[in-house]
Chains A and B, each alone.
Chain A
Amino acid sequence: MKLWRDEFSIETAHERYVARRQFGKFLVLTSFGMFVGNVWILVKSWFRRDEVFPRTLVGRASEIPKGGVKLFTYPGPQHPCLLFHTQSDRFVAYSQKCTHLSCAVIPAADGKRIECPCHHGFFSIEDGRVLQGPPPRPLPRILLERQGDELWAFGVDQGGNPSVDSRVQG
């Protein structure tokens, strides 16, 4: 017999009622479990170290025309990213994972936005903020540094703070 059928028996004789004391025990034990879990999370957060990102050459400024896009992976091969050369002559890069349900985002046809085709979420190409649709957060931004013609990635900004990479201006 299935467990749930055992718990919710058809026969009145096999019905088991949860006593007040039993319910109290359940509440106390689960609350205790939750408390221990929270302490564990707290202790872990004390010992957490900031993620270290590698310095990677992701492309050359000359190979991407204005309005062009390049696909690369950063920080690892499992993390596809998009590098844009915007109309305002800046180089910006974002993670390709939509913040809604991790679909791969693509450049929208108008060239000014990034589109998630799954649920029609739109992000700004300029700073990755959400323009429209279900995504709850801006796209994670890849921090870029330009050295002559070379574009180097050196970090990921999960918050999408627009002030961070002002040095990448064209």
Chain B
Amino acid sequence: MFGRQFFIDPSRCIGCESCVNACAECDNHRGESMIHLDFIDRRETTATVPFVCMHCDDPTCAQVCPADAIKKTDDGIVQSSLKPRCIACSNCVLACPFGIPKVMVRQEQMMKCDMCYDRTSVGKKPMCATVCPSQALAYVSLEEITRGRREKPTNVFYFGKQKVTTKVSMMIPRALDAVSVDVVDYMWEDKA
């Protein structure tokens, strides 16, 4: 979109929550942030990862929606659920491999990051990328990100056997080709 892409670099996140609060400022969902700022292991480290919607090419949330409420627009942005259709069943919340959708219980609707569609569709940066002081959330061109960074971007993720390709990219070590997550590995962490 306008030659720029969204990049997430977890290694740069300092956990300042600027993105979280900037997101909550939006009039579309005032007071509710669509950013997930995840603490990786809160007892051991202060490291955090900011997660915006990855905008999958084949969005699992929309695939599992029984009400046909989640739509992907031509520019590849997976939108929040359509208010007249959403039944707040939480199927998308359970299905999303990245854990992005949120069900707003009070308004009985799922809402998620739509990459500030009101802003990006007219060429502006998403709010979180605008405020991020360390540019862990960056909305720049591909040349710009590859020039200035040690990591390389990828948009291929493996969750067990499910391959997910996304619009938003994640900055990973140069040695890797894709992010591979097997949930079962983490379930048996204590035994290892």
- Chain A residue numbers with a CB within 8 Å of B73 are 11-13
A15 to B63, CA, bound (A): 15
Query: Smallest Cβ distance from A15 to chain B, in angstroms?
Result: 7
CA of A8 to CA of B71, assembled, Å: 10
Please give, as numbers and ranges, the residues of chain B lying within 8 Å of A8 by CB-CB distance: 68
Per the 8 Å Cβ criterion, residues 1-47 of A in contact with B are 8, 10-13, 15
**Interface size on B (CB < 8 Å)?**
9
Task: Pick the residue among A10, A11, A12, A13 that contacts B63 (CB under 8 A).
Answer: A10
With contacts A13-B73, A13-B74, A15-B71 known, what are 11 further pairs, Cβ within 8 A? A8-B68, A10-B63, A10-B70, A10-B71, A10-B72, A11-B71, A11-B72, A11-B73, A11-B74, A12-B71, A12-B73
CA distance A27 to B42 in the complex (A): 61
| A10, A12, A15 interface centre (most CB from chain B within 10 Å) | A10
Q: How many residues of A contact B (CB 8 A)?
A: 6
Give 8 nearest A-B pairs by CB, closest first.
A10-B62, A8-B68, A12-B71, A13-B74, A12-B73, A11-B72, A10-B72, A10-B71
Q: Which B residues lie at the A interface, using CB under 8 A?
A: 59, 62-63, 68, 70-74
Q: Which residue of B lies closest to A11 (CB)?
A: B72
Contacting residues, chain A, for B72 (C-beta < 8 A)? 10-12
Chain B nearest Cβ from A137, distance in angstroms: 38
Instruction: Tell whether, in the assembled complex, residue B74 and residue A12 are in contact, meaning their CB atoms are under 8 Å apart.
Output: yes
Within 8 Å CB of B62, what residues of A? 10
Q: A15 contacts which chain B residues (CB < 8 A)?
A: 71
Taking a contact as CB atoms under 8 Å apart, the answer to whether A10 and B74 are in contact is no
How many whole Å from B2's CB to the nearest CB in chain A?
19
B69 to chain A, nearest CB (A): 10
